[in-house]
Amino acid sequence: VYVDSSSIRKAMGGGDSLPGAQKTFPRCMVAFRRLTLRFLRCITACCDCCLNVFDVVIRIVGPVFIALALSIIGFVTYTFFTVIFPYHVEVGWHPILLVNEFLLSCFLVVNLLYNYAMSICTPAGQPPAYPDIVDDDCEQGVEAVKPKRCSKCDRLKPARTHHCSVCKRCVMKMDHHCPWINNCVGWNNYRYFCLFLLYLALSCLYVAISGYTLFYQSLFYSRKRRRHHLEWFDMQCVSFSWLIAVSIFAALCCLGGFHLYLVLTNQTTIEFHGNSRRKSEAKRRGDRWRNPYDLGCSRNFEQVFGPNKFKHFIWMMPYMAKRPTGDGMYFPTVCAMET
């Protein structure tokens, strides 16, 4: 005997309950998805708003960071020339040593301030407007691949160019936006930024070595045991300057070492993160990935500091050295060099 299950459900009065449940469940899922999407959109909008506020704050406090940096440099320089150097004269250093110390100190301070000023005042490099390039190509009858266009500033976006959310413009070969110079670090001022880090590290090391004796005496010698009397204020200036110099030098060992690696491998800070991800993905696939702009340490060095020989150290004085070749729009690659 065959008994239909639907007839049994109708006889029990529950024939329409199952289709109603089947219709209600999809509606609940659709409503849940819509609420989830709205929630995610609200979170995204809040994050974008916070990032915009952060960018504005970074732009506003930039001059404050510059004033703070100049104040620290001025304080340590004042301490060296008014306390440490006169102390070396008082203890009887040889005149030749004193002259060399004075000249070396002036050389470090002048180059430090020069490269810092150039890092601040030199524009990082902005690509040309997009319509100008397209019109020139059309006039010349060039049929090439359509260049990339920035959707935010409506300018040409060549390789290695990124849009800075703080400066609100595209920067050629952008490395990062530095609040200490209130400027982007890019194609035009990257060598000044690297030289500023170099001279800052050398100056801090110089102050730490030359002021170590006075710093040691200020901590472990009583006033009666000191061979040369110094005022309390002078000793505090020496102690504070020595701690600042050592702290900055320790920080620059990490930051400067990282940028030295970037220079020798022809990468920027932005490209470093992307290249690390691509390298990891290629390693998981069993492939080998190479940075297309890595031309070797010597050529990579010339890409930043210009065609100047490293052993001549003329690259340390950018006002005398040759400028880097190129325009920031096109960069040689490994494939192009091999062909």
3-class SS at 241? Answer: helix
Token pair belonging to 127: 């690509």
3-class SS at 162? Answer: strand
Angle formed at CA 303 by CA 325 and CA 196, multiple of 5 degrees: 105
Question: Hey, which residues are catalytic here?
Answer: 178
Burial of 46 (0-12, 13-18, 19+ CB in 10 A): exposed
Measuring CA to CA, which residue among 119, 75, 124 is closest to residue 248? 75
Buried b vs exposed e over 165-190: b needs ≥16 C-beta within 10 Å? bbbebbbbbbbebbbebbbbbbbbbb
Rounded-to-integer distance, Cα 163 and Cα 281, Å: 26
